[in-house]
C-alpha cells in the first residue's frame, strides 16, 4: 500500500503539479519560476521515492535511524565536495530575486568585457561579447561578489566623453562652440532635458589646453557614435585651423663662459 501511494503521489506530482506549474510559468514574465520549477521537479523525483522507501523499511521492522544518520553524514560529505556548486546555486537564486540585471541588459564585467546578458541560470550566467563575437559563461558567485556595471539602468542611455587638446593661445570660447556644435549636429546624440551635451575645460596640460566633451547616446550605438564624434571633431578643427598639438619638450642650451 505504501508503494502504491508513493507511486501515485509521484505520478500526480509529475503529471499534474509540475504540468500546471509549467503552464503557469509560461504565462508570467518573471524568470524565477522558470528556474525554480525544474529544481522543484528534480527534488520531488528524489524525495517522494525516498520517503516511500523509508516508510516501507519502518513497516518491515528495519531500524532506519542508522540509515538516516548515515545519509546525513553522506549529505555533509557531498555538500562539502560540491560547495562551489552550491555557492553558485545560492548566488543564482540571489540574482533571480534581487534582479541587478535582466536578460538583454548590457553589462560590464569585472574583467572589463562589455557584454549582453543572454541567460541567468542557477549555476552560471551566460553573456555575449559582441566585440570579440564570443559567448562567456560566468559562475554566479563572480556575478554576485564582483563588480558588475549595468549600462541598461536607469535607462538605456550611456554617457560618453571625447577628450581633445588644443595649442596654447587658441580661442577657448571658439573651441567650446565647435565641440558643442559637433555633438548637437550628430543625429544619434541624445538631446533631452538632463542629458544635453556639454563641454568643460579639463586641465592645462604640458603641451595643450585639454577640453572634455560629454554627451549621451543609446547603448547599442555608443561605440559607433564615439568613433564618429572623434572623427568629426578632428575634421572640424582641421577645417577651422585649430591646432591639436603633440607632446613636445623645449631644450635650452646655456652658452659657456669664454674661459671655458
pLDDT for position 28: 67
**pLDDT per position as a tens digit, 120-149:** 887 889 999 988 889 999 988 888 888 899
Q: Give the rounded distance of the alpha carbon of 146 from its chain centre.
A: 10
Over 70: is that where the pLDDT of 51 sits? yes
Q: Residues 6 or more apart from 109 whose CB is under 8 A from it? A: 115, 127, 136, 138, 146, 148
Residue in the block written with cell 577645417:
239
**What pLDDT band is residue 215 in, cutting at 50, 70 and 90?**
very high
Q: Residues 6 or more apart from 172 whose CB is under 8 A from it? A: 166, 201, 209
Over 70: is that where the pLDDT of 32 sits? no
pLDDT for position 258: 53
Helices 32-59, 2-12: crossing angle, 10 deg rounding? 170
Over 90: is that where the pLDDT of 163 sits? yes
pLDDT for position 190: 94
- Give the torsion through C-alpha atoms of 227, 231, 234, 238, to 10 deg: 180
Over 80: is that where the pLDDT of 68 sits? no
Higher pLDDT among residues 39 and 227, named by residue: 227
Higher pLDDT among residues 79 and 226, named by residue: 226
Residue in the block written with cell 582641421:
238
**What pLDDT band is residue 102 in, cutting at 50, 70 and 90?**
confident
| Claim: this prediction has a pTM higher than 0.85 | no
Distance CA 196, CA 183 (A): 9
pLDDT for position 121: 80
**Domains of the chain: residue spans and CATH:** 2-81 (no CATH), 100-150 (2.30.30.60), 157-240 (3.30.70.100)
Find the mean pLDDT for residues 228-251: 88
**What pLDDT band is residue 41 in, cutting at 50, 70 and 90?**
confident
pLDDT for position 18: 78
pLDDT for position 99: 83
Distance CA 221, CA 223 (A): 6
pLDDT for position 132: 86
**What pLDDT band is residue 246 in, cutting at 50, 70 and 90?**
confident
Asked if 177 and 191 touch (Cβ cutoff 8 Å), the reply is: no
Amino acid at each position: 500500500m505504501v508503494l502504491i501511494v508513493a507511486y501515485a503521489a509521484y505520478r500526480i506530482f509529475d503529471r499534474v503539479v509540475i504540468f500546471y506549474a509549467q503552464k503557469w510559468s509560461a504565462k508570467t514574465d518573471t524568470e524565477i519560476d522558470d528556474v525554480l520549477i525544474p529544481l522543484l521537479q528534480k527534488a520531488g523525483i528524489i524525495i517522494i521515492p525516498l520517503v516511500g522507501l523509508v516508510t516501507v523499511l519502518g513497516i518491515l521492522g528495519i531500524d532506519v535511524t542508522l540509515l538516516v544518520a548515515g545519509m546525513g553524514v553522506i549529505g555533509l560529505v557531498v555538500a562539502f565536495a560540491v560547495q562551489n556548486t552550491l555557492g553558485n546555486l545560492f548566488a543564482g537564486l540571489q540574482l533571480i530575486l534581487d534582479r541587478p540585471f535582466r536578460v538583454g541588459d548590457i553589462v560590464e564585467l569585472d574583467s572589463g568585457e562589455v557584454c549582453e546578458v543572454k541567460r541567468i541560470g542557477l549555476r552560471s550566467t551566460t553573456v555575449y561579447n559582441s566585440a570579440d563575437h564570443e559567448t562567456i559563461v560566468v559562475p554566479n558567485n563572480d556575478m554576485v561578489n564582483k563588480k558588475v556595471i549595468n549600462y541598461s539602468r536607469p535607462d538605456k542611455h550611456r554617457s560618453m566623453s571625447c577628450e581633445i587638446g588644443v595649442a596654447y593661445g587658441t580661442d577657448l570660447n571658439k573651441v567650446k562652440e565647435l565641440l558643442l556644435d559637433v555633438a548637437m549636429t550628430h543625429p544619434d546624440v541624445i538631446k533631452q532635458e538632463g542629458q544635453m551635451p556639454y563641454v568643460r575645460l579639463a586641465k592645462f596640460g604640458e603641451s595643450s589646453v585639454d577640453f572634455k566633451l560629454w554627451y549621451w547616446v543609446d547603448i547599442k550605438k555608443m561605440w559607433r557614435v564615439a568613433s564618429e564624434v572623434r572623427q568629426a571633431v578632428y575634421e572640424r578643427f582641421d577645417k577651422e585651423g585649430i591646432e591639436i598639438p603633440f607632446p613636445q619638450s623645449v631644450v635650452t642650451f646655456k652658452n659657456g663662459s669664454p674661459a671655458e
